[in-house]
Structure formats: structure tokens, C-alpha cells
Amino acid sequence: MAKTKKKTRDTQILKPLWDGRLSEKPEAQAFAFQSSINVDKRLVFDDIAGSKAHVIMLGKQGIIPKDSAKKIAAELDVIAAELKNGKLNIEENAEQTTKFSAESSIEDVHSFLETVLTKRLGETGKMVHAGRSRNDQVAVAFRLYLKRVIPQIQNSLASLINILLDTAQSNVNSIMPGYTHLQRAQCVTLGHHLCAWCAALERDYSRFNDALKRLDECPLGSGALAATSLPLDRRLTAQTLGFARLSINSMDAVADRDFALEISGACSITMVHLSRFCEDVVLWASEEFKFIDLSDSWSTGSSIMPQKKNPDFAELIRGKSGRTTGNLVTLFTLLKGLPYAYNKDLQEDKESLFDSIDTLSDCLLMFAGMIKNAKFNLKRMKAACFGGFLEATDAAEYLVRKGTPFRAAHETTAKIVRDCIGAGHKHISGLSLAELKKYSKLFDQDIYKAITPLACVKARNIPGGPAPSEVRKQIKILRKKIK
């Protein structure tokens, strides 16, 4: 008998805000299916800000009585305060909707706020929605949220860049191999390698800046798609909310999700960068490299092998990059076939983007903590520069400076390397000057100074190069860009 009552309760009809048009209402389970409050509840303070600006404008324009506008605005402030101190809880309403409760008609955070206002202010509360649709209401809250949250990501990026630059500053002379194809290629420094990471992260920082500039327009007043006949002052609400400009076209304003794509793309690209850096860290932490010693607090052990110290945090960040890439594809797929106005499909725009924002925010903090507490094995890095003929390009360029065409110099040096390997030498300096002159009479005693690892690095002192003087310049430039 109890089960029968439960089933009847779960299938009772709900009363949403839009119930006036339909003679039959969705059953509770169907209503819950199209509810988004568990996703969009994080927009609540942004929706409050948008609603407050809108209602104050309605009062100034004489669309609703000024005293009613003041009451609504004041109550919105009360609601915001109650949400912050826990007196009012969206979670409870969201939980009711999830369980198909007939006691709730809350389908999203926007309905939640209007329902609370109506319960508290009666007919006055119903005035809040004059001159707007949920389409432009959602769009403005979404943009306000991103304007608030993206600078927090940028702060995390700037913090990480500064941590890396501090380490780079201390290691402008710390020699290490640079790799292509995972083969030892040429000598660089740890400072130069870390600046390479920072250059990528600075582009990410800039990419978010660009996205913020484009999303900084106010769609409020666009209505469902065709604006409204009420005399709204769109410029007033845009200025009140801190937007740089108005959206140009009311239909585009509610159809546009380019800003979500751009932010999702920026998150995905940043995560790909972190993933690549983590690949370096995983390799460097291996017994074969031993370039980095991750703190015990940023490592894990094995459930079966007692000796293991695993770079799991780096691996997990690397793995999480797949989520943000998938989220970007989700948004592209969502949008590609939509008619150009508002469609219910757009309700699915937030969950994937919120996940990307959350994932990136967490990974930036984790990567920063992991690197800040890591120790670099500078002796091991330096030792890896001897052997593998990292000086070969410098030997070729030595001949170029003496007048040999580069292709001829390249061929000559390649033969030297081949013969050194055959003779068991690990460095070109293993050959005597007389032996080198057999390959080219241009070799002289100064070749030995020119092909030491430190000399190879210092010689590459053009802008962007690994020479200590240039790395110091790169550090200054990067700090300035994120200041």
C-alpha cells in the first residue's frame, strides 16, 4: 500500500511558471528530465544581479511602480544574503525536483528566484519579469558568471607562471639537454625550458583576455528573440551590470554561444599545455631520467610494489585534459545544427563548460603545488649533456662561421659523429685536432672551447635563445605580460 502511495505522489502534476498555455502539464518525471537547477544553481548571484538591474530600470522607466521596483530590489538583496548565510538553500529545492516531488515547480535557478519573490511579495513579485524572457535572462546571467569566474582562472595562471619564473630565475645557468623526438638534441638550460612552459601559459592568459572582451556585451532586453514593445533602457541595465556594450541584434543575443565555445576552447588549450608539461614531469621523474624529485606529498605509492614512488598527480592532470577536449567537442556538436534563435538544446551549454572551468581551476592549483615543492637534480641534468653529441650543431655552425656552406658543414659534422660512434667516443672533443682537420682544415684549437655545453648555450644569445642573458630577458617580458 505504501508503494502505491509513493508512485501516485511521484507522478502528480507540477505547476511551472509557464503553465498557463498548456492544458496538460508534464508529469513529475518528465518535468525533472528538463530541469536544470542542479547545473545552473551556481548562477544564482549572477541572476540576482541581472534581475536587480532589470527591475530598477523598469521602475525608472515607469513600466512598473517605483515603490514596487524598490521592494523587489530590496527583497533580492535579502535573498542574496540568505543564500550566503545558509538561511535559504537552493539544494533543498533542487533535491525536490530530482526526486520528482509534486511540491516543487523549480526547473532552474531563474524560476527559483521568481518563485521565492512571488511567495514573499505576492503580485509585486510577479512584476520582475516584465520586458524580458528567460532566454535573455539566462544569457545575461551566464555572461556575468563568466566575467566573474574567468579572472579567477587568470589569477591562477599568473600565480603558476610566477612560480615557474622564480624557478627559472634561479636556473638560468643550469645546463640540461633539450629534446626533439625524445632524443637528445641540443643543450639548453632549465631556466629556458621553464620559460618555454611560461610562454605557452601566457598565451593562455591572453586567450582568456580575448574571450572576455568578446563576451562583454549585455543581451538583456533581447527578450525571447524579438526584444519587447516596452520602453526598456538597455543602456542603463548594461551600465549597471558593468558590460562594455549592448548586443547588436536581439535574435543573435539569445542564439549566440560563441563566448561559451571560446572559453571552453581556452580551457581545453590550457589543459593540453598542462598535459604536455606533465608528460615532461613524468619522464623526468623516471629512473631513466632522474631530472626531478617530486615531493612525497605530491606522489603516491603502489599497492603491491613497496619501492614505488609514482607521479600520479602529473598523470592525473594529463588524463583530465581529455575531459576538457571532450567538453569542447560537446559544445561544437550541440550548436552545429541549431536553427538561429533560442532552442531548448542550449540548456545543455553550461554543464560541459562548468566542468571544464572546474577541471582547469583544480589542475592549475595541483600543478602549481606539485612544481613548487619539487626539487630538480641539476647534476644529473648537466651530466646528461655529455654524450649524445649535443654539440654537433654547434660544431657545424663553427664551420659556417669559418666560411663553409651550412649543408657542407652539416655533412662534415655528421661524418665526424658517425666516426666518433664507431671509435667509441661520446663527444666530438674526444678527437684530436689533427683528427678533426682530416674532416676540415678550418678546425682550430678554439673548437674545443666552442663545443662545451656551457659555451653552446651561451653562444645562442639571440632573442628567444637559451643563453642566460636572453633567458633573463624572457623572464622580465613574461612577468610584464601577466602583471
Q: Can you spell out the DSSP letters for 431-446?
A: S-HHHHHTT-TT--TT
The secondary structure of the chain in percent helix, strand, coil, rounded to multiples of 5, reads 65, 5, 30
Looking at residue 323, its amino acid is R
Grid coordinates in use for 237? 541595465
**Residue 322 burial (C-beta neighbours within 10 Å; 0-12, 13-18, 19+):** middle
Scan for cell 663545443, then name that residue: 451
Considering the candidates 206, 275, 299, 302, report the single residue annotated as catalytic.
302
CA-to-CA distance for 30 and 13, rounded, in angstroms? 10
Alpha helices in 285-347 (DSSP H): 312-336
Angle at the Cα of 194 from the Cα atoms of 192 and 197, rounded to 5 degrees: 115
181 catalytically annotated: yes
Coil, helix or strand at residue 416: helix
Angle at the Cα of 387 from the Cα atoms of 381 and 389, rounded to 5 degrees: 110
Instruction: Identify which of 65, 189, 197 has the alpha carbon closest to the alpha carbon of residue 478.
Output: 197
Radius of gyration of the chain (CA): 31
193 catalytically annotated: no
Question: HSE (CB half, 13 Å, CA atoms) of 332?
Answer: 10
CB 297 within 8 A of CB 373: yes
DSSP 246: E
Beta strands in 203-257 (DSSP E): 217-218, 245-246
Going by their DSSP bridges, the two strands 292-293 and 375-376 should be labelled as antiparallel
Considering the candidates 181, 229, 297, 432, report the single residue annotated as catalytic.
181
CA-to-CA distance for 382 and 189, rounded, in angstroms? 9
Residue 437 CB neighbour total at 10 angstroms: 13
Q: 444: which residues sit within 8 A by CB, 6+ positions away?
A: 433
**Residue 57 burial (C-beta neighbours within 10 Å; 0-12, 13-18, 19+):** buried
Q: 250: which residues sit within 8 A by CB, 6+ positions away?
A: 136, 221, 222, 223, 225, 226, 227
Residues designated as active site? 181, 302
